[in-house]
Every structure is written in structure tokens, then in C-alpha cells.
């Protein structure tokens, strides 16, 4: 009974947040709904298998989004990708130290709070690696809120005298996912088998990495990998509910000390956006507006939509965001784990 009650509360509030266009709405809403239920009744409950299911689905969604056209573009984007990822990794580690010093959070949690990843992926990865998933979700929400809510307006103001260049090719037809029932079934089966193998391997974040890799291989070899949006939404609900079920009133009050780290996090990524865009503009030939959008730490889907609103139609931007997403979920956690071990 508590499980179904938790699932209902998480789904209802997640749906409301989605309709209200809150950044990361489904997961944030699911987390909020579960926390409210837990504080009010103490009945919130979500088994560990929910985390595994969320990781498998998140990995499958990322893997299925990788198209042949993306892979063909990747070698040509090595320089901007290296600039983007190196700057974000350095900033991630520096911010982790600052967050640890200003918040009292443990090292693992501090580093994951600063990861420029997705709202759906980062908190659940952090929880698996022993970090405080609630604190990570809280910090990630405000980073995403800045990336989606404030950064586009700042970018538009900073580049208002620049004529956006439509210089990148449009997405190819084979980039559209084939969401037929057989394709979805095959994708789910491959993701589940690979995800379980990853979990059994003992590799940190192995569930998500193996699921992502297997799904990407299926998509690139057959062109038929597909994860419908409702499955991604389900994974976001499970992820938010899993984290929210561990938060009570005392844990919620403990998050007050994150106000200063949140301000530092958003300010640092805004500075990084200007700095990296200057490098991409000078050494990679991007327009300032396109370069700033590339360096904005929001979700790949969010940036694809926002870039169109700002007059940029760029396959390069989309591919770079996908490269960032893959690297952040697969490599950054390993670097963070190694860094914490060395501290």
C-alpha cells in the first residue's frame, strides 16, 4: 500500500509540474510530492529496484538518442568538445571543493552537486555512489533553473548585435526515432539485459553505462532503437520518488545551508559560459550566440528547443550537447570517485 501511495503522489505532482513547465518538472514534481507525503504521513516508500529501473531507462533514452548523423559529426567536433568538456570538468572539481568548504557536505556529494549533467541522471547516479541524493537534486534543480530560465535571456542580451548564422546542416531523416512497438520492445529488452549485466559487473554507474552502450549499439546497427517519452517520464517519477522517500522534515531543513553554494554554482557556470564561448568563438569559428548556447549547462533537449527560439538551428550544438551528456554520465562519475579516494 505505501508503495502505490508514493507512486500516486509522485506521479500526480510530477504531472502538475510538467504542465506548469517547471524545469525538470516530472522528476522535481515527483520528488516534491514524495517529500510532502513523507512529511505528512511518514508512509513514503520506494524500493531499490526503482533506482535500477530508472537507471536502465535513462541509459536507454540517451543511447537511443544517438543517431548515425551524430556519430559522423563527432570527429569534426573534437576541438570544441575537448574545450567544452575540459572546462566543465575543471569547474566541476573546483566547485566541488568550494561547495564542500561552504556547506559541510561530504566530498562525494559536493562534487556531484556541481556535475553539469541531467536532472534525471545525476541525482540517481550520485545516490548509487553514496552521495546525498536529496542535496544533489536540490542543487541540480537550481543549476537547471538558471540554465533554462536565466541564461537564454542573458545570452540574447550579450549577443543582441550579432546576426545568428544558420551554418549547420539540418537533422537527417534517420534521426527521427522509429517508435513502433517491435522497436520499443527490442530496445527495452536490450537495455534491461545490458543494464542488469552492468549492475552485476560492480562497475560504478554500470547499470546506466551498459544500458546506454547496448541501446546505442542497437540503434546504430539497425536504426530501430526507440524509447517513447512516457517511459522516460516513468523513469523520472521513479527516480524522484526514490530520492524523495529518504527526505523527512529534518532532512529538508538541513538543505537551508545550500543557499550560498547554489548562488556560487549558478554564478560560476554563468562565468564559464562566457569564458568557454570566447574560446569556441576564437578557435572553432562559432558565432558567440551559438558558442554560449553550447556552453550552457542545461539538458540536451532543453537546449535544442531554446536554440531555435534564439535563432540558432545547429546540428553541431545538438551533437556537442549529446557528447557532454554521454561524457558526464559515464566518465565524470569515475573521475569524481577517483578524486574522492585520493583526498
Q: Where are the domains of the chain?
A: 2-342
* DSSP state letters, 285-320: ---HHHHHHHT--S-HHHHHHHHHHTT---HHHHHH
Per-residue tens of pLDDT for the chain, all 343 residues: 788 999 999 999 999 988 987 766 788 889 889 999 999 998 888 898 888 898 898 889 888 888 888 888 888 899 999 999 999 999 999 999 999 999 989 999 999 999 998 777 888 889 889 999 889 988 988 888 787 667 878 888 888 877 655 444 443 333 334 568 889 999 999 999 999 999 999 887 788 889 989 999 999 999 888 888 888 889 889 888 888 888 888 877 877 889 999 999 999 999 999 999 999 999 998 999 889 989 988 766 566 556 666 677 667 887 888 888 889 988 999 999 999 999 8
CA dist 312 and 52 (Å) reads: 37
CA dist 96 and 107 (Å) reads: 7
In CATH, what class is 2-342? mainly alpha
**Angle ∠(92,93,97) on CA atoms, nearest 5:** 115
Amino acid at each position: 500500500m505505501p508503495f502505490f501511495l508514493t507512486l500516486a503522489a509522485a506521479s500526480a505532482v510530477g504531472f502538475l509540474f510538467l504542465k506548469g513547465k517547471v524545469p525538470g518538472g516530472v522528476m522535481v514534481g515527483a520528488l516534491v510530492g514524495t517529500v510532502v507525503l513523507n512529511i505528512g504521513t511518514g508512509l513514503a516508500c520506494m524500493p531499490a529496484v526503482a533506482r535500477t529501473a530508472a537507471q536502465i531507462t535513462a541509459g536507454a533514452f540517451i543511447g537511443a538518442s544517438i543517431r548515425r548523423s551524430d556519430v559522423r559529426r563527432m570527429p569534426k567536433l573534437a576541438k570544441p568538445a575537448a574545450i567544452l568538456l575540459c572546462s566543465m570538468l575543471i569547474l566541476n572539481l573546483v566547485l566541488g571543493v568550494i561547495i564542500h568548504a561552504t556547506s559541510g557536505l561530504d566530498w562525494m556529494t559536493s562534487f556531484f552537486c556541481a556535475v553539469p549533467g541531467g536532472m534525471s541522471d545525476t541525482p540517481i547516479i550520485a545516490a548509487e555512489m553514496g552521495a546525498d541524493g536529496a542535496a544533489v537534486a536540490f542543487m541540480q534543480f537550481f543549476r537547471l533553473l538558471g540554465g533554462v530560465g536565466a541564461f537564454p535571456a542573458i545570452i540574447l542580451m550579450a549577443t543582441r548585435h550579432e546576426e545568428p548564422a544558420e551554418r549547420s546542416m539540418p537533422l537527417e531523416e534517420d534521426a527521427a526515432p522509429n517508435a513502433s512497438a517491435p522497436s520499443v520492445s527490442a530496445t527495452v529488452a536490450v537495455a534491461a539485459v545490458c543494464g542488469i549485466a552492468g549492475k552485476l559487473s560492480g562497475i560504478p554507474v554500470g547499470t546506466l553505462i551498459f544500458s546506454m552502450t547496448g541501446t546505442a549499439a542497437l540503434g546504430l546497427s539497425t536504426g530501430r532503437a526507440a524509447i517513447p517519452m512516457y517511459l522516460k517520464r516513468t523513469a523520472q517519477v521513479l527516480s524522484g520518488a526514490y530520492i524523495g522517500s529518504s527526505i523527512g522534515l529534518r532532512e529538508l531543513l538541513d538543505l537551508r545551508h545550500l543557499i550560498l553554494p547554489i548562488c556560487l554554482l549558478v554564478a560560476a557556470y554563468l562565468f564559464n559560459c562566457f569564458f568557454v564561448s570566447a574560446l569556441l568563438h576564437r578557435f572553432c569559428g562559432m558565432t558567440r550566440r551559438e558558442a554560449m548556447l553550447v556552453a550552457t549547462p542545461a539538458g540536451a533537449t532543453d537546449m535544442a528547443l531554446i536554440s531555435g527560439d534564439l535563432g540558432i538551428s545547429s546540428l553541431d550544438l545538438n551533437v556537442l550537447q549529446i557528447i557532454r551528456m554521454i561524457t558526464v554520465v559515464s566518465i565524470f562519475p569515475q573521475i569524481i570517485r577517483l578524486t574522492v579516494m585520493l583526498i
